Structure 1
């Protein structure tokens, strides 16, 4: 029984990690098979949305100065997928 529970928890963690990886802008664009102007437009909007979200997270964490800049840069890069 414990083995089954451990396996269920492990598989849930793997699935969650896979979903988080697919949440990047690049992955979403690839899933939608975007190209040309549509890809550019989607990428720009997605990057702006990611930066806005990361900015809000930095404000929630009460970051300022270099810490905020570093956090927002890494957070945005992770969200965009680059």
Structure 2
């Protein structure tokens, strides 16, 4: 009888586990949006929260997109200055 209860409890954790993780992410997003909405009231707050909570995370830039952006920023630089700038810019994972 004890083994059956333990197996049932573990099975319910396996089924509910992903849902609990998603809920935690949503709660985190809600906390962040609430903090960002400080000072807003009424319709302004409602509109802000709707936009904030529906926003998707920013997509990471591809290597080609980073190269294009860095090349554009390096306009006017030459030689070692350009080489150093490109190295620094391309190592930035956020895509500057």
TM-score range, shorter chain: 0.3 to 0.5
TM-score (norm 1): 0.46
Structure with the bigger RCO (C-alpha within 8 Å, sep 6+) is 1
Which structure: larger Rg? 2
Q: Which one has a larger percent helix, Structure 1 or Structure 2? A: 1
